[in-house]
Structure 1
C-alpha cells in the first residue's frame, strides 16, 4: 500500500466526503482523486516516467496535493521547494536533484525565467494560476515560454482513469532538502514505505478519523505539514482546511466557521495566536487537539496557551530524515510539559553516548532513531549517509534525555551546545527562563567566542516593554540560573530571524553580531 493507492480507495468508499476546503471552495474525495489521476496521466503524456524527478514550487494550494499525489501515482519522485527561496537556492536544488519537470505558480514565472539558464535539464514547466487571469498573452514574451504548460492543459490532456504505476516500498517517493542552516542543503530520500508508514502511525497515534477537520496552516513543502496535516488526514478520510499562509485571524476564523478539530503549528505560531488580541476560547472550542513540533515549545507558552484557550497541546518531535515523526506525547496517558513524548507505534528512540551505547535514564546523550520511517539516505551523498545511518539507526544530532517513564526531552542541538569555562550550557535551558519573564515575547541564545572562558552566552530578546533593560534581565537570570549560565550580553530586537517554518535562524543571529561589531 502507498499514499496514492490509499487516496483512490478512500475515493471509492467515501466519494462525496469533503477532502479539502480552500478559499471556501470544497472538493470531494472523488473530485480530488479524479484530478490526481488526470494529472498523473497528463504527466505521462509529457514523457514523465517512473523514477523521474519533479519539483513542486506552489505553496499551500490544492495544486500541491494534486501535483504530489499525481506525480507519485505516475511513479515519479517529488521534490518540494520553498517558493520564497532565492533563484540561486531554487537553482541549486533543481540541479542537484536532477529535476526534469517543474510545477510552479504563475506569480513565480519571472523567477523561473531568471534561472532558466541555470536549469537546462528541465523540459517542462507547469504553471498553476493564482488568479483567474491565465498565462496566455501576458507571458508569451518569456524566454522559457516554449517549456510552459498550464496545469489545466495537463489535467485536461489526461484520461480520468486510475492507472497505478508498479511501485515498490523502497522506491524513492520524495526528496526533502534540509534547510541548509549549516551549509548546502542535503536531499533526504524518503521512500513510499517511509511516508505511508509514518502517516499511518501518526494518524493512529493521534486518533485521526473521517470526522476531523484539520487546519493546514503549516507550509506544505515542509515535512511536518506533509505528514501530520496532509498525508495522515487524507489517509484517514479527514478534511483539510487549507490556508494559503498562516494568519492568526484566519486560524480563529476557520476554526469557528468549520468547527475545526485539529490544529498543528510550530512554537512561533502558538506565540502569535496567544498574543492575538481578538482570539477567544469560544473560537477554538471545537478543537480536540493542538499539535506542536518543528522546535521546542517553551513550557511557559504551552501552559499559558492551554489556560487561555482551554485546549490540549501535544508536543512531538521529528526530522526530515525520519519522515518526520518519532515521538509524541500520548493522548491516553499523562502528558508531561516540556517533553516530546514517547515512541510512536513502530518507531524506537534511544539516547546514546559518543560510542553509540545507550545511557541510563536521566543522562544526556545523542538521540538516535530506528523504524520504517527512516530515510534510505541522502541523494548523491554516500559519505553523509554513512555518517547519519549506522547499523539501521539514524543519528539525529540532537541532545536528549529519557526519564524513568520513557518520556524523552530534547536538551538542544548537539552543534548548538555552548561550553562556558568547561561547563556545558544548553541554549534551551536559558531560553526557557527568559520565556518565563512576563515582558519577553521571544528569546534565543547562542555561544560567542570569549578569550577567558572559551565561549560566552549572547541572548537576543523581543520585549513588549520599552523600559526593560539588560541589567533587569541580568538580575532576573541570576535568580534562576547558575552564574555560568547567565548571558553576558542581551540584544533587544524587534523580531527574531526565522525561516518559513518558524525556526529561529541562529546563523543570522551570529551574522547580526558580526555586523554590529
Structure 2
C-alpha cells in the first residue's frame, strides 16, 4: 500500500466526502483524486518518467496536494523546497537533487527567468496561477525561459482521467527532504513509499484520526511535520483538511468559529501566538479534541497556560526528517507528561545509547537512536553521511535524550549548536559560511538565544576587518544569501572571539555573555 493508492480507495468509497476546504472553497475526495490522476497523466505527456525528480516551490494550497500525489502516482520523486529560500539556496537543491521539473507559483517566474540558464537539467517550469493578484502573464513570450514554461491548468487539462499510474514499489524513493547539515550544505533525506505510508498510517491510528475529523493544516506543507501529521495522515484517514495559506491567529479563530475543527497541529510559536492573541475567544476553538505540538520543545508553562485557557490537551511528540518524521508521541490513553516527547509510536522503537552504541540505564542521558519502517533509505549522493547516520539498522539522531521508568522520552538538548527558529532548524555553520564570505569580515561565530516569539533567535558575533562595516550593511548582505528565518536578529561586533587552547571558539562563553547583556 502507498499514499496514492490509499487516497484513490477512499475516493472510490467516499466520493462525496469533503477532502479539503481552501479559501472557503470545498473539494471532494472524488474531485481531488480526479485532479491527481489527470495531473499525473499530464506529467507523463510532458516526458516525465518514473524515477525522475521534480521540485515543489509551493505554499499551502491545493496545487501542492495535487502536485505531490500526482507525482507519486506516476512514480516520480518529489523534492519539496521552501519557496522563501534565496536563489542560491534553491539553486543548490535543484542541482544537487537532479531536478527535471519545477512546479511553483507564477510569482516565481522571474526567479525561473534568472536561474534557468544555470540549470540546464530543468526541462519544464510549471507555474500555478494565483489570479486575481498574481504575476502579469501577458508578456511571457518575451522571456528566454518561455519555451520551458507550462501552466498548471494546462498540465491538468491535458491529462487522461483514465490514467492508471505506474506500479510503485515500497522501497522506491518517493520524496527527498533537504535538511540543513553541519557541513553547511543541506542533505537530502531519501524517504520511500513505505517510509511515508507507514508513518502517516501510524500517526493517524495513534491519534485516532477518522472521517469525522477536520484538521487545520496551517504548518508549511513543504515541512515534514505538516507533510505527515497534517496532510498525509488526514487524507489516509478520510478526514477533511482546512488548508491555511499561511498561519495567522485571526484566521485560525475564524476557522474555529465557522468550520468546527477537531485537530490542530503546530510548533510552539504558533501556540504562543494563539495564546497571546488579544481577540482570541476560547469558545471559537471549543470543537478541538486534540492539539499536536512538535518541531521544538514546548515550554511547560505555555503548555499548561494554553490548555487551561482553551480546555484542550496538547500532545507533544518528536521527529526528524530522516524518520518521516515521527518516532514518539505522548499517548492519548495514558497520563501525558509535560516536558516529555512521549513514548514509542506503534511500529517505531526508540533507544538511548552511549558513545559505543550500548543502551544506557533508565534516567541516564545519551544519544537517541531510532529504528522502524519510517527510517530513511539514506542521504542522496552522500554515502559517507549515510553510513554515519545509519548503523546496524538504527538511525542515530544526534539528539541527547533520557528515558524514564515508564518508557517516556525527554530531549535534553538538540543537536549540537543547532538553533530552532519558529520550528525551523538553523545550523550556525551555514550562517557563518555566508557571513565569512563578506570581504570585511575576519571571524564570525553564530549561536542561538531564547526568544519569546520564535523559540530561539539567531545571534552573530563578528570580528570585522573594516571598522566602518555596520550592522545594517551586514544584515543587507545576509538577506541576499539566506532565508528570512536564518538571518541574525542581533549582530555584535567584537575585537576577538574567545577560544580554547586548541583554537576552538567557545560558543558557550559568548552565549553567557549575551544572555547577561540582554538581561540587564
Shorter-normalised TM range: 0.7 to 0.9
Q: CA deviation at 1:138?
A: 3.4
Deviations 1:290-344 (A, max 9, x none): 0000010011111111111111100000000000000000000010000000000
Question: How far apart in 1 are the matches of 2:485 and 2:267?
Answer: 11
Q: SS at the partner of 2:245?
A: coil
Query: 2:41 touches 2:165 (CA, 8 Å); kept in 1?
Result: no
User: Cα 1:179–1:458, aligned 2, differ >3 Å: closer, same or farther?
Assistant: closer
Q: CA deviation at 1:231?
A: 0.2
Question: How far apart in 2 are the matches of 1:414 and 1:81?
Answer: 22
Query: 1:199 touches 1:231 (CA, 8 Å); kept in 2?
Result: yes
**Unaligned ranges ≥5, structure 2:** 421-425, 429-444, 454-477, 497-520
Partner of 1:512: 491
Partner of 2:458: none
Partner of 1:396: 397
Partner of 2:83: 83
Question: How far apart in 1 are the matches of 2:86 and 2:274?
Answer: 29
Pairs within 5 Å for 1:325-336:
325-336=326-337
Question: How far apart in 2 are the matches of 1:515 and 1:56?
Answer: 41
Partner of 2:297: 296
Cα RMSD for the two superposed structures: 2.6
Query: 1:295 touches 1:503 (CA, 8 Å); kept in 2?
Result: no
Q: Highest relative contact order (Cα 8 Å, sep 6+), 1 or 2?
A: 2
Q: CA deviation at 1:162?
A: 4.1
User: Cα 1:312–1:109, aligned 2, differ >3 Å: closer, same or farther?
Assistant: same
Question: How far apart in 2 are the matches of 1:27 and 1:280?
Answer: 29
Q: SS at the partner of 2:100?
A: strand
**Unaligned ranges ≥5, structure 1:** 418-426, 429-443, 447-454, 464-496
Q: CA deviation at 1:33?
A: 0.2
Question: How far apart in 2 are the matches of 1:147 and 1:304?
Answer: 52
Pairs within 5 Å for 1:299-448:
299-416=300-417
Question: How far apart in 2 are the matches of 1:92 and 1:106?
Answer: 21
Question: How far apart in 1 are the matches of 2:407 and 2:34?
Answer: 45
Q: SS at the partner of 2:491?
A: helix
Q: SS at the partner of 1:415?
A: coil
Worse-superposed segment, 218-227 or 159-168: 159-168
Partner of 1:71: 71
Partner of 1:5: 5
Q: CA deviation at 1:139?
A: 2.6
Q: CA deviation at 1:460?
A: 4.8
Partner of 2:460: none
Partner of 2:255: 254
Question: How far apart in 1 are the matches of 2:334 and 2:484?
Answer: 29
Query: 2:401 touches 2:409 (CA, 8 Å); kept in 1?
Result: yes
Partner of 2:146: 145
Query: TM-score normalized by structure 1?
Result: 0.82
Question: How far apart in 2 are the matches of 1:461 and 1:378?
Answer: 32
Deviations 1:133-167 (A, max 9, x none): 68642333222011001011111111111413011
Question: How far apart in 2 are the matches of 1:171 and 1:514?
Answer: 49
Q: SS at the partner of 1:90?
A: helix
Partner of 2:208: 207
2:60 pairs with 1:55: no
Q: SS at the partner of 1:204?
A: helix
Q: CA deviation at 1:414?
A: 3.9
Pairs within 5 Å for 1:413-492:
413-416=414-417, 459-462=449-452
Q: SS at the partner of 2:284?
A: coil
Q: SS at the partner of 2:120?
A: coil
Question: How far apart in 2 are the matches of 1:173 and 1:72?
Answer: 7
Query: 2:274 touches 2:280 (CA, 8 Å); kept in 1?
Result: yes
Partner of 1:14: 14
Query: 2:107 touches 2:135 (CA, 8 Å); kept in 1?
Result: no
Deviations 1:477-496 (A, max 9, x none): xxxxxxxxxxxxxxxxxxxx
Q: SS at the partner of 1:112?
A: helix
Partner of 1:44: 44
